[in-house]
Amino acid sequence: MMGTHQERVLVVMAHPDDPEFACGGTIARWVREGKYVGYVLITSGDKGSDDPTMTRERLMDIRENEQRAAARVLGVHEVHFLRYPDGELYPTMELRRDIVYHIRRFRPDILVCQDPTAYYFGDYYINHPDHRAAGEAALAAVFPLARDHLNFPEHLEQGLPPHKVPVVYIATTPNPTTWVDITDFLDIKLEAILQHKSQVKDPEALIERWKERLRTSDENGRVRYREGFRVMYLG
Ligand SMILES: [Zn+2]
């Protein structure tokens, strides 16, 4: 590996557990291939509880710890929390600036984010509005904000020059253009998902549901598992 560039992947998502559900198999595969992977979680999922005795502070703690455990299972190298309030996300200039900061610091070859155009999936899921806001802010941070030095010039004073992200993987999209085969990484994805204990009520049912969603077959009729993305090559 000496002298070769280690590819860097930055995953920017709204909540703890989003990366594992959206693309945990792909992340595990990339880590195995030698890529360096970092997470930026915009909120700490501090409202995702139906326990009437739960407080936001306790829940933040629980969910950040679960997220770190899940990231460890996948082999992710760093995890950052921006701690915006859960359920209230807008793609504001403040949020864009905070994502630009991490892009200029981390200098990703690939940025992974959520799909801001997805309002619903099939007839069973209204997309969480935080996911749309996170995707919109992340894409705005990639282009044009992180690229052009006149945006947030304070970053340059902090030693962080502009950065052009060459490739973007938009996860949880109803319109995938690229499929990543995660058959060898299905078990590790599911193990990572199960680290989010406060979010998983019935592990067996959840595993069956997700295997069903990810399942496909190859040209020989063999079962394979895959994750879909809209991939943008920005050159
Ligand atoms: Zn989420």
Amino acid in the structure at residue 153: P
User: Which pair of structure tokens corresponds to residue 37?
Assistant: 């992977």
User: Which pair of structure tokens corresponds to residue 176?
Assistant: 């995938």
Q: Are strands 178-181 and 78-84 parallel, antiparallel or unpaired?
A: unpaired
User: Which pair of structure tokens corresponds to residue 45?
Assistant: 């999922």
Q: Domain with 34 in it: what CATH number? A: 3.40.50.10320
Rounded distance, CA 105 to CA 229, Å?
25
Burial environment of residue 28 by CB neighbours within 10 A (0 to 12, 13 to 18, 19 or more) = buried
Count structural domains, the chain.
Answer: 1
Q: How many angstroms does the Cα of residue 5 sit away from the middle of ligand 1?
A: 32
Q: How many angstroms does the Cα of residue 15 sit away from the middle of ligand 1?
A: 5
Rounded distance, CA 60 to CA 44, Å?
5
pLDDT in the model for residue 3: 66
Q: Are 155 and 146 in contact (CB under 8 A)?
A: no
Low-confidence ranges of the chain (pLDDT < 50): none
Residue 2, in any domain of the structure: no
Residue 3, in any domain of the structure: no
Residue-range definition of the domain harbouring residue 36: 8-233
Ligand 1 (ion): which residues have CB within 5 A? 15, 18, 128
Q: How many angstroms does the Cα of residue 160 sit away from the middle of ligand 1?
A: 29
pLDDT in the model for residue 124: 85
Residue 125, in any domain of the structure: yes
Residue 116, in any domain of the structure: yes
pLDDT digits (tens, 9 = 90+) for 158-214: 999 999 999 999 999 998 999 999 999 999 999 999 999 999 999 999 999 999 999
